[in-house]
Copies of this chain bind each other. A is one copy, B any other.
Amino acid sequence: MTAADPPAANRRPGRPRDAATEQAITRAARELLAEQGVGGLTMEQVAARAGVAKTTVYRRWPSKVELAVHAVAATFDTIDAGDRGSLAADMRAGIDEAARLLREPSTGGAYAALLAESARDPEGVGRAVRGSLSTRLHALVSQAVERAIGRGEIRPDMVDVDLLADVVVGAVLHRALATGEPDAAFVDALIDLLSDVAYARLLLAKRQATNPLRTQPG
């Protein structure tokens, strides 16, 4: 084997980056996002507020969008996705978390803006947004389902996790930005709806029957 310290091997030459700088930028970005929304998140302002040169910001995040993704992701770090013991509890907790985050105009608006950017550049921005943001929102639902499967509460074939996640996240997002507040009543109603789905499927599975209301496409 060659020399030594594999962890220190990737030590890059030159002056190392200042960790405080990174924090200052992140903090400034989050503050601006919260105060003025996506439109207020300008590289110029971020640099100024962080007390940092624009170059320094660009050295870390190659474009404004990526910084925005980072800033929103930082907000998502507050997500609590702990195990609540049951599917119902986990689902409620997950939906509550989603509503809490997206209800905030700056966060909800920023997420929507980044989704819009994703549409323009699915490979670049889209990949980043999905990887850092959408996935984490989806996880709020999918983790709950997976835990429930693990517990034996439901069977894997009974639920399309991806669909479920899109339904939950999409409904909360749209309610937050287009329709009104994703308040407690909304969350309750959404949970009831999902409960009814579960009820129907458990029943149908037990009876080995098919929902007669299901029609053929076309």
State the A residues within 8 Å of B (CB): 36-39, 88-89, 92, 105-106, 108-110, 112-113, 115-120, 122, 129-130, 133-134, 138, 160, 162-163, 165-167, 169-175, 177-180, 184, 186-193, 195-204, 211-215, 217-218
Complex contacts, A130 vs chain B, CB 8 Å: 178-179
In contact, A115 and B196 (Cβ under 8 angstroms): no
Task: Given contacts A118-B177, A196-B211, list 8 more A-B pairs with CB under 8 A.
Answer: A105-B122, A109-B118, A130-B179, A163-B171, A191-B217, A196-B214, A199-B212, A200-B203
Do B112 and A115 have beta carbons less than 8 Å apart? yes
- In the complex, how many angstroms separate the beta carbon of A196 from the nearest chain B beta carbon? 4
A120-B39, A200-B200 are known contacts. Are A92 and B134 too (CB-CB below 8 A)?
no
Residues of B within 8 A of A188 (CB): 217
Q: Which residue of B lies closest to A173 (CB)?
A: B170
Give complex CA distance A173, B200 in Å.
26
Q: What is the CA–CA distance of A168 and B198 in the complex, to the nearest angstrom? A: 18
In the bound complex, residues from chain B placing their C-beta under 8 Å from that of A184 are 217
Cβ of A204 to closest chain B Cβ, rounded Å = 8
Most chain B CB within 10 A, of A36, A110, A113, A119, is at: A119
Q: How far is the CB of A66 from chain B (nearest CB, A)?
A: 15
11 contacts between A and B (CB under 8 A): A88-B213, A88-B215, A110-B116, A113-B116, A118-B178, A162-B179, A163-B171, A166-B174, A184-B217, A191-B215, A195-B213
CB distance B109 to A178 under 8 Å? no
A187 and B48 CA atoms in complex are apart in Å by 47
**Beta-carbon nearest neighbor of A201 in chain B:** B196
B211/A199 in contact, CB under 8 A:
yes
